[in-house]
Amino acid sequence: MKKTVLYNKHIELNGKMVPFAGYMMPVQFDGVNIEHNQVRSSVGIFDVSHMGEFLVEGPNSEELLNYLCSNDIFLISKNKAQYNCLINDNGGIIDDLIVYKLEDQKYMLVVNAANIEKDWNWINKKNQNFKCKLTNISDDTSLLALQGPNAEKILQKLVNFNLNELKSFTFLISSVSNIKNVLISRTGYTGSGGFELYIKNDQALKLYNLLLNDIRIKPIGLAARDTLRLEMGYCLYGNDINENISPIQAGLKWATKINKEFIGKNHILNQIENGTDKNLIGFKLLEKGIPRKDYNILDHNNNVIGIVSSGTMSPSLKTGIGMGYVETSKSKIGSSIFIEIRNKKIKSEIVKLPFIY
Protein backbone atom coordinates (compact mmCIF):
# COMPACT_ATOMS: atom_id res chain seq x y z
CA MET A 1 0.00 0.00 0.00
CA LYS A 2 1.46 3.37 -1.03
CA LYS A 3 1.64 6.45 1.17
CA THR A 4 1.64 10.09 0.18
CA VAL A 5 4.48 12.25 1.49
CA LEU A 6 2.02 13.71 4.02
CA TYR A 7 1.22 10.35 5.63
CA ASN A 8 3.12 11.01 8.87
CA LYS A 9 1.59 14.48 9.10
CA HIS A 10 -1.89 12.97 8.84
CA ILE A 11 -1.04 10.60 11.70
CA GLU A 12 0.21 13.57 13.74
CA LEU A 13 -3.12 15.32 13.10
CA ASN A 14 -5.04 12.22 14.27
CA GLY A 15 -6.29 11.39 10.81
CA LYS A 16 -8.11 8.09 10.51
CA MET A 17 -6.19 6.28 7.78
CA VAL A 18 -7.86 3.79 5.43
CA PRO A 19 -6.87 2.03 2.18
CA PHE A 20 -8.10 3.93 -0.88
CA ALA A 21 -7.10 3.36 -4.50
CA GLY A 22 -3.86 1.69 -3.47
CA TYR A 23 -2.93 4.38 -0.94
CA MET A 24 -3.33 4.86 2.80
CA MET A 25 -5.41 8.03 2.94
CA PRO A 26 -7.10 10.06 5.70
CA VAL A 27 -10.84 9.40 5.61
CA GLN A 28 -11.53 11.92 8.39
CA PHE A 29 -9.95 14.03 11.11
CA ASP A 30 -12.71 15.61 13.25
CA GLY A 31 -15.75 13.92 11.71
CA VAL A 32 -17.48 14.01 8.34
CA ASN A 33 -20.17 16.58 9.19
CA ILE A 34 -17.74 18.94 10.93
CA GLU A 35 -15.30 18.79 8.02
CA HIS A 36 -18.05 19.11 5.39
CA ASN A 37 -19.47 22.22 7.04
CA GLN A 38 -15.95 23.64 7.48
CA VAL A 39 -15.46 23.59 3.70
CA ARG A 40 -18.94 24.89 2.91
CA SER A 41 -18.67 27.80 5.36
CA SER A 42 -14.95 28.63 5.51
CA VAL A 43 -11.97 26.68 4.16
CA GLY A 44 -10.34 23.27 4.37
CA ILE A 45 -7.35 21.50 2.88
CA PHE A 46 -7.30 18.03 1.31
CA ASP A 47 -4.36 15.81 0.49
CA VAL A 48 -5.28 14.32 -2.89
CA SER A 49 -1.75 13.37 -3.87
CA HIS A 50 -2.96 9.88 -4.79
CA MET A 51 -4.26 11.32 -8.07
CA GLY A 52 -2.24 10.61 -11.21
CA GLU A 53 -0.48 13.09 -13.49
CA PHE A 54 0.82 12.45 -17.02
CA LEU A 55 2.65 14.81 -19.36
CA VAL A 56 1.86 14.65 -23.08
CA GLU A 57 4.24 16.54 -25.37
CA GLY A 58 5.02 16.85 -29.04
CA PRO A 59 3.75 18.17 -32.40
CA ASN A 60 0.85 15.68 -32.39
CA SER A 61 -0.17 16.15 -28.74
CA GLU A 62 -3.42 17.96 -29.57
CA GLU A 63 -4.34 15.37 -32.19
CA LEU A 64 -3.68 12.47 -29.81
CA LEU A 65 -5.69 13.98 -26.97
CA ASN A 66 -8.53 15.00 -29.26
CA TYR A 67 -8.72 11.42 -30.53
CA LEU A 68 -8.75 9.99 -27.00
CA CYS A 69 -11.06 12.49 -25.30
CA SER A 70 -14.71 13.48 -25.58
CA ASN A 71 -14.15 17.23 -25.26
CA ASP A 72 -12.42 19.46 -27.82
CA ILE A 73 -8.75 19.89 -26.90
CA PHE A 74 -8.35 22.68 -29.47
CA LEU A 75 -10.63 24.86 -27.32
CA ILE A 76 -8.01 25.01 -24.54
CA SER A 77 -5.62 27.94 -24.60
CA LYS A 78 -2.40 28.15 -22.60
CA ASN A 79 -2.91 28.27 -18.81
CA LYS A 80 -6.42 26.86 -19.16
CA ALA A 81 -7.81 23.53 -18.02
CA GLN A 82 -10.68 21.42 -19.32
CA TYR A 83 -12.86 18.65 -17.89
CA ASN A 84 -12.77 15.60 -20.11
CA CYS A 85 -13.49 11.90 -20.51
CA LEU A 86 -11.27 9.19 -21.96
CA ILE A 87 -13.57 7.13 -24.19
CA ASN A 88 -13.29 3.47 -25.15
CA ASP A 89 -14.25 1.86 -28.46
CA ASN A 90 -17.83 1.31 -27.29
CA GLY A 91 -18.39 4.90 -26.13
CA GLY A 92 -17.87 4.05 -22.45
CA ILE A 93 -15.83 6.15 -20.01
CA ILE A 94 -12.36 4.76 -19.28
CA ASP A 95 -11.82 7.66 -16.88
CA ASP A 96 -12.75 11.27 -16.30
CA LEU A 97 -9.89 13.71 -16.03
CA ILE A 98 -8.70 17.30 -16.18
CA VAL A 99 -6.47 18.38 -19.09
CA TYR A 100 -4.10 21.31 -18.44
CA LYS A 101 -2.43 23.15 -21.30
CA LEU A 102 1.02 24.00 -19.90
CA GLU A 103 2.48 25.25 -23.18
CA ASP A 104 1.88 24.87 -26.89
CA GLN A 105 2.18 21.12 -27.57
CA LYS A 106 2.57 20.30 -23.86
CA TYR A 107 -0.27 19.09 -21.65
CA MET A 108 -0.75 17.62 -18.19
CA LEU A 109 -3.51 15.06 -17.62
CA VAL A 110 -4.82 14.55 -14.09
CA VAL A 111 -6.45 11.14 -13.75
CA ASN A 112 -8.11 9.16 -10.97
CA ALA A 113 -5.82 7.25 -8.64
CA ALA A 114 -7.43 3.85 -9.19
CA ASN A 115 -7.08 4.26 -12.96
CA ILE A 116 -3.45 5.39 -13.26
CA GLU A 117 -2.09 2.12 -14.67
CA LYS A 118 -5.13 1.47 -16.89
CA ASP A 119 -5.11 5.00 -18.32
CA TRP A 120 -1.34 4.98 -18.83
CA ASN A 121 -1.48 1.71 -20.78
CA TRP A 122 -4.42 2.89 -22.90
CA ILE A 123 -2.80 6.21 -23.82
CA ASN A 124 0.51 4.54 -24.66
CA LYS A 125 -1.26 1.99 -26.85
CA LYS A 126 -3.09 4.69 -28.81
CA ASN A 127 0.04 6.88 -29.02
CA GLN A 128 1.81 4.50 -31.42
CA ASN A 129 0.56 6.41 -34.47
CA PHE A 130 1.05 9.87 -32.90
CA LYS A 131 4.51 9.41 -31.39
CA CYS A 132 4.09 11.93 -28.57
CA LYS A 133 6.42 12.03 -25.60
CA LEU A 134 4.58 10.61 -22.59
CA THR A 135 5.83 10.96 -19.00
CA ASN A 136 4.14 9.57 -15.89
CA ILE A 137 4.94 12.07 -13.11
CA SER A 138 2.38 10.67 -10.65
CA ASP A 139 4.94 9.38 -8.13
CA ASP A 140 6.83 12.69 -8.12
CA THR A 141 3.83 15.01 -7.77
CA SER A 142 1.72 16.02 -4.76
CA LEU A 143 -1.68 17.68 -4.95
CA LEU A 144 -3.30 19.79 -2.25
CA ALA A 145 -6.86 21.08 -2.61
CA LEU A 146 -7.59 24.31 -0.73
CA GLN A 147 -11.37 24.54 -0.87
CA GLY A 148 -14.06 26.81 0.52
CA PRO A 149 -15.35 30.40 0.28
CA ASN A 150 -12.41 31.77 2.29
CA ALA A 151 -9.72 30.00 0.23
CA GLU A 152 -9.01 32.99 -2.01
CA LYS A 153 -8.72 35.49 0.82
CA ILE A 154 -6.24 33.30 2.69
CA LEU A 155 -4.16 32.25 -0.32
CA GLN A 156 -4.01 35.82 -1.64
CA LYS A 157 -1.72 36.80 1.24
CA LEU A 158 0.78 34.15 0.16
CA VAL A 159 1.03 34.92 -3.59
CA ASN A 160 2.27 37.96 -5.51
CA PHE A 161 -0.47 38.17 -8.16
CA ASN A 162 -4.17 38.96 -8.07
CA LEU A 163 -6.02 35.68 -7.53
CA ASN A 164 -9.25 37.38 -8.57
CA GLU A 165 -7.91 37.38 -12.13
CA LEU A 166 -7.55 33.59 -12.02
CA LYS A 167 -10.92 32.52 -13.39
CA SER A 168 -12.52 29.08 -13.18
CA PHE A 169 -10.46 26.37 -14.92
CA THR A 170 -7.44 28.61 -15.34
CA PHE A 171 -4.06 28.25 -13.65
CA LEU A 172 -0.70 29.88 -13.11
CA ILE A 173 2.68 28.49 -12.10
CA SER A 174 4.00 30.78 -9.40
CA SER A 175 5.32 30.92 -5.82
CA VAL A 176 3.34 30.46 -2.63
CA SER A 177 5.29 32.45 -0.04
CA ASN A 178 8.87 31.22 -0.61
CA ILE A 179 7.84 27.92 -2.18
CA LYS A 180 8.50 28.08 -5.92
CA ASN A 181 6.97 26.37 -8.95
CA VAL A 182 3.50 25.68 -7.57
CA LEU A 183 0.81 25.14 -10.20
CA ILE A 184 -2.13 27.07 -8.75
CA SER A 185 -5.39 26.04 -10.41
CA ARG A 186 -8.88 27.47 -9.92
CA THR A 187 -10.47 24.03 -9.83
CA GLY A 188 -11.91 21.65 -7.26
CA TYR A 189 -14.29 18.83 -6.46
CA THR A 190 -16.40 20.43 -3.71
CA GLY A 191 -18.56 23.13 -5.30
CA SER A 192 -17.43 25.64 -2.67
CA GLY A 193 -14.75 27.37 -4.72
CA GLY A 194 -11.04 27.27 -4.12
CA PHE A 195 -7.82 26.02 -5.64
CA GLU A 196 -5.82 22.91 -6.39
CA LEU A 197 -2.07 23.18 -5.85
CA TYR A 198 0.32 20.86 -7.72
CA ILE A 199 3.84 20.66 -6.35
CA LYS A 200 6.90 18.42 -6.33
CA ASN A 201 6.88 15.89 -3.51
CA ASP A 202 9.90 17.37 -1.75
CA GLN A 203 8.04 20.67 -1.21
CA ALA A 204 4.60 19.27 -0.34
CA LEU A 205 5.00 19.03 3.44
CA LYS A 206 6.41 22.55 3.58
CA LEU A 207 3.40 23.88 1.64
CA TYR A 208 0.92 21.86 3.72
CA ASN A 209 2.42 23.15 6.99
CA LEU A 210 2.48 26.70 5.66
CA LEU A 211 -1.23 26.60 4.89
CA LEU A 212 -2.14 24.91 8.18
CA ASN A 213 -0.33 27.72 10.02
CA ASP A 214 -3.49 29.72 9.35
CA ILE A 215 -5.89 28.56 12.07
CA ARG A 216 -8.85 29.09 9.74
CA ILE A 217 -7.69 26.18 7.56
CA LYS A 218 -8.58 22.69 8.79
CA PRO A 219 -7.44 19.32 7.39
CA ILE A 220 -10.27 17.49 5.61
CA GLY A 221 -10.56 13.79 4.82
CA LEU A 222 -11.90 11.86 1.87
CA ALA A 223 -15.28 11.16 3.49
CA ALA A 224 -16.20 14.84 3.47
CA ARG A 225 -14.80 15.15 -0.05
CA ASP A 226 -17.38 12.55 -1.07
CA THR A 227 -20.34 14.25 0.61
CA LEU A 228 -19.28 17.62 -0.81
CA ARG A 229 -19.00 16.33 -4.39
CA LEU A 230 -22.27 14.41 -4.12
CA GLU A 231 -24.21 17.49 -3.04
CA MET A 232 -22.96 19.08 -6.28
CA GLY A 233 -23.90 16.08 -8.43
CA TYR A 234 -20.27 15.52 -9.46
CA CYS A 235 -19.64 12.02 -10.78
CA LEU A 236 -17.27 9.66 -8.99
CA TYR A 237 -15.46 7.16 -11.18
CA GLY A 238 -16.29 3.59 -10.22
CA ASN A 239 -19.66 4.67 -8.83
CA ASP A 240 -21.45 7.00 -11.22
CA ILE A 241 -19.33 6.43 -14.33
CA ASN A 242 -17.40 3.46 -15.67
CA GLU A 243 -16.45 1.76 -18.93
CA ASN A 244 -20.04 0.62 -19.55
CA ILE A 245 -21.50 4.12 -19.10
CA SER A 246 -21.31 6.76 -21.83
CA PRO A 247 -21.01 10.52 -21.28
CA ILE A 248 -24.54 10.87 -22.65
CA GLN A 249 -26.00 8.50 -20.06
CA ALA A 250 -23.99 10.22 -17.32
CA GLY A 251 -25.26 13.72 -18.16
CA LEU A 252 -21.87 14.74 -19.55
CA LYS A 253 -23.01 15.67 -23.05
CA TRP A 254 -21.72 19.20 -22.31
CA ALA A 255 -18.20 17.72 -22.22
CA THR A 256 -18.70 15.79 -25.46
CA LYS A 257 -18.03 17.56 -28.76
CA ILE A 258 -19.27 15.67 -31.82
CA ASN A 259 -17.78 18.07 -34.40
CA LYS A 260 -14.54 16.06 -34.33
CA GLU A 261 -13.40 12.48 -34.61
CA PHE A 262 -12.68 10.51 -31.44
CA ILE A 263 -12.75 6.94 -30.21
CA GLY A 264 -16.27 5.60 -29.70
CA LYS A 265 -17.91 8.54 -31.46
CA ASN A 266 -20.34 6.41 -33.50
CA HIS A 267 -21.79 4.82 -30.36
CA ILE A 268 -22.22 8.21 -28.74
CA LEU A 269 -23.81 9.69 -31.88
CA ASN A 270 -26.27 6.81 -31.89
CA GLN A 271 -27.28 7.57 -28.31
CA ILE A 272 -27.69 11.28 -29.06
CA GLU A 273 -29.87 10.54 -32.09
CA ASN A 274 -31.85 7.56 -30.76
CA GLY A 275 -31.79 8.01 -27.01
CA THR A 276 -30.34 5.89 -24.23
CA ASP A 277 -31.74 2.97 -22.25
CA LYS A 278 -30.92 4.60 -18.91
CA ASN A 279 -29.92 7.99 -17.53
CA LEU A 280 -28.19 9.28 -14.42
CA ILE A 281 -30.62 10.98 -12.05
CA GLY A 282 -30.40 12.78 -8.74
CA PHE A 283 -32.91 11.93 -6.03
CA LYS A 284 -33.82 13.14 -2.57
CA LEU A 285 -35.39 10.97 0.12
CA LEU A 286 -38.73 12.19 1.42
CA GLU A 287 -38.57 9.87 4.41
CA LYS A 288 -35.87 8.92 6.91
CA GLY A 289 -33.07 6.79 5.49
CA ILE A 290 -29.62 6.81 3.92
CA PRO A 291 -29.25 5.52 0.34
CA ARG A 292 -26.11 3.58 -0.54
CA LYS A 293 -24.45 2.32 -3.71
CA ASP A 294 -26.19 -0.67 -5.35
CA TYR A 295 -29.53 -0.20 -3.56
CA ASN A 296 -32.49 -0.83 -5.86
CA ILE A 297 -34.63 2.00 -7.24
CA LEU A 298 -38.30 1.03 -7.55
CA ASP A 299 -41.45 2.42 -9.11
CA HIS A 300 -44.92 2.44 -7.53
CA ASN A 301 -45.53 -1.15 -8.66
CA ASN A 302 -42.38 -2.46 -6.94
CA ASN A 303 -40.63 -2.89 -10.29
CA VAL A 304 -36.88 -2.39 -10.17
CA ILE A 305 -36.26 0.50 -12.58
CA GLY A 306 -32.69 1.30 -11.63
CA ILE A 307 -29.88 1.19 -9.12
CA VAL A 308 -28.21 3.71 -6.81
CA SER A 309 -24.68 4.65 -7.88
CA SER A 310 -23.87 7.05 -4.98
CA GLY A 311 -25.74 7.96 -1.83
CA THR A 312 -25.26 9.68 1.52
CA MET A 313 -26.88 11.75 4.24
CA SER A 314 -26.44 15.34 3.08
CA PRO A 315 -24.84 17.42 5.86
CA SER A 316 -26.20 20.59 4.24
CA LEU A 317 -29.76 19.42 3.58
CA LYS A 318 -30.05 17.02 6.55
CA THR A 319 -31.70 14.41 4.36
CA GLY A 320 -30.70 11.41 2.29
CA ILE A 321 -29.59 12.18 -1.27
CA GLY A 322 -28.14 10.13 -4.07
CA MET A 323 -27.58 9.53 -7.74
CA GLY A 324 -28.39 6.47 -9.77
CA TYR A 325 -29.30 5.08 -13.16
CA VAL A 326 -32.93 4.49 -14.06
CA GLU A 327 -34.76 3.56 -17.21
CA THR A 328 -34.93 6.65 -19.43
CA SER A 329 -38.73 6.61 -19.55
CA LYS A 330 -38.81 6.77 -15.73
CA SER A 331 -36.17 9.50 -15.30
CA LYS A 332 -38.29 12.67 -15.44
CA ILE A 333 -37.49 15.33 -12.83
CA GLY A 334 -40.26 15.54 -10.26
CA SER A 335 -41.22 11.86 -10.56
CA SER A 336 -41.80 9.82 -7.42
CA ILE A 337 -39.60 6.78 -6.89
CA PHE A 338 -38.71 4.48 -4.01
CA ILE A 339 -35.31 3.47 -2.71
CA GLU A 340 -35.15 -0.03 -1.25
CA ILE A 341 -33.31 0.24 2.07
CA ARG A 342 -33.18 -2.94 4.20
CA ASN A 343 -36.31 -4.33 2.56
CA LYS A 344 -38.22 -1.09 3.12
CA LYS A 345 -39.48 1.20 0.35
CA ILE A 346 -38.39 4.75 1.14
CA LYS A 347 -40.35 7.36 -0.79
CA SER A 348 -38.12 9.66 -2.82
CA GLU A 349 -38.26 12.22 -5.61
CA ILE A 350 -36.16 12.73 -8.71
CA VAL A 351 -34.67 16.22 -8.50
CA LYS A 352 -32.55 18.48 -10.66
CA LEU A 353 -28.81 18.41 -10.02
CA PRO A 354 -26.97 19.87 -8.19
CA PHE A 355 -28.70 19.34 -4.86
CA ILE A 356 -27.44 22.68 -3.54
CA TYR A 357 -26.55 25.90 -5.33
Q: Which of 275, 304, 331 is the last residue of a domain?
A: 275
Q: Which of 260, 275, 290 is the last residue of a domain?
A: 275
CA 299 – CA 283 distance, rounded (Å): 13
Q: Is the pLDDT of residue 80 over 90?
A: yes
What average pLDDT is seen over the chain? 98
Residue 276's pLDDT is what? 97
For residue range 220-234, what is the model confidence (pLDDT) as tens digits? 999 999 999 999 999
Whether residue 232 is contained in a domain is answered as yes
Q: Do residue 35 and residue 53 come from a single domain?
A: yes
| DSSP H stretches of helix in 171-289 | 201-212, 222-231, 265-274
Whether residue 267 is contained in a domain is answered as yes
Q: Do residue 286 and residue 214 come from a single domain?
A: no
Question: Is residue 308 within 8 Å of residue 339, measured between CB atoms?
Answer: yes
Q: Which of 222, 242, 275 is the last residue of a domain?
A: 275
Q: Is the pLDDT of residue 357 over 90?
A: no
Residue 259's pLDDT is what? 96
Q: Do residue 319 and residue 244 come from a single domain?
A: no
Whether residue 41 is contained in a domain is answered as yes
CA 19 – CA 41 distance, rounded (Å): 29
Whether residue 229 is contained in a domain is answered as yes
Percent of the chain topping pLDDT 90: 100
Quick one: which H or E segment has residue 199? strand 194-200
Q: Do residue 263 and residue 281 come from a single domain?
A: no
User: Which residues are within 8 A (CB) of 9 and not within 5 positions of it... i.e. 6 or more apart?
Assistant: 205, 208, 209
Q: Do residue 168 and residue 59 come from a single domain?
A: yes
Burial pattern 85-124, b for ≥16 Cβ within 10 A else e, equals bbbbeebbbbbbbbbbbbeeebbbbbbbbbbbeebbebbe
CA 160 – CA 176 distance, rounded (Å): 8
Whether residue 117 is contained in a domain is answered as yes
Percent of the chain topping pLDDT 70: 100
Whether residue 356 is contained in a domain is answered as no
Look at the chain and report how many structural domains it folds into.
2
Query: Distances in Å between the alpha carbon of 246 and those of 45, 113, 126, 258, 305?
Result: 32, 20, 20, 14, 19
For residue 287, give its domain range: 277-351
Q: Do residue 52 and residue 141 come from a single domain?
A: yes
Whether residue 44 is contained in a domain is answered as yes
Q: Do residue 95 and residue 39 come from a single domain?
A: yes
For residue range 322-354, what is the model confidence (pLDDT) as tens digits? 999 999 999 999 999 999 999 999 999 999 999
Which residue, 46, 10, 41, is CA-closest to 222? 46
Q: Do residue 282 and residue 252 come from a single domain?
A: no
For residue range 112-157, what is the model confidence (pLDDT) as tens digits? 999 999 999 999 999 999 999 999 999 999 999 999 999 999 999 9
242: domain CATH number? 3.30.1360.120
CA 50 – CA 282 distance, rounded (Å): 28
Q: Do residue 247 and residue 298 come from a single domain?
A: no
281: domain CATH number? 2.40.30.110
Q: Do residue 150 and residue 252 come from a single domain?
A: yes
Whether residue 357 is contained in a domain is answered as no
| DSSP H stretches of helix in 15-134 | 32-41, 61-68, 116-126
User: Which residues are within 8 A (CB) of 298 and not within 5 positions of it... i.e. 6 or more apart?
Assistant: 304, 305, 337, 338, 339, 340, 345
Q: Do residue 79 and residue 167 come from a single domain?
A: yes
Instruction: Classify the phi-psi angles of 275: left when phi > 0, otherwise alpha if psi is within -120 to 50, otherwise beta.
Output: left
Q: Do residue 261 and residue 303 come from a single domain?
A: no
